Amino acid sequence: MESKLIVALDTDDMNVAADMVAKLSPAVEIFKVGSQLFTAQGPQVIKAIQQKGAQVFLDLKFHDIPNTVSHAVEAACSYNPLMLTVHTLGGSKMLQAAVDARDHVGAETMILGVTILTSLDKGQLEEIGLSASVNEEVSCLAQMAKAAGLDGIVASPQEVYILRQGLGEDFVIVTPGIRPAGPMGDDQRRTMGAKEAVLAGANYIVVGRPITQADDPFSAAKKIIEETE
């Protein structure tokens, strides 16, 4: 799989999601299914994407006691997603349980740890009792994820360069918060352009509204793919 682009299907409408997949395939090889779409439509949306020959980044951010996460990962892996997320704030035992569950069922799904959401900044971290800088918190969580055996992490583009230096070349970094130049008027705070994120060390970039809300989604996706090749 050569393309670094993952397109986020941020909708709860199966028809809208299927239409976007049809418009963007085969140029786009991976689509993100998050909690909004999965909660509304369930596994059928994963099957619909896979039937188009594309892969699924199942972004459900599991965060619970280790036993519960273990069973959730086993269930999710039965759908054969390319990637599945758990939240690193669940701690090392929970992360290890997720990896063990994936290995137990013999799945090839990459388990990725979400670090600090791209909607959060230093002030909001302090609100929830995290006193270190964003970079420090993300780095700490990323190192814990690697030690627990995860395949990679999800982190904002602004932390990618520092993370890549500390985590090595084989650890996967998936980067949301990719935005074109100019204001988007949304809730993403720690953002960056697609080319810059890849140059900083991201393996994959996640793009939603700049593609799905574009007048010509296919052209918008192709432009990003070309920028990051």
Q: What is the set of active-site residues?
A: 61
Q: Omega before 26 cis (within 30°)? A: yes
SS3 category, 176: coil
Residues 6+ apart with CB under 8 A from 40: 12, 13, 14
**To which H or E segment does residue 56 belong?**
strand 55-62
The C-alpha torsion from 49 through 52 and 57 to 59, rounded to 10°, is -10
Taking the C-alpha atoms of residue 121 and residue 146, their distance in angstroms, rounded to an integer, is 23
Helices (H) and strands (E) in the chain, counts: 11, 8
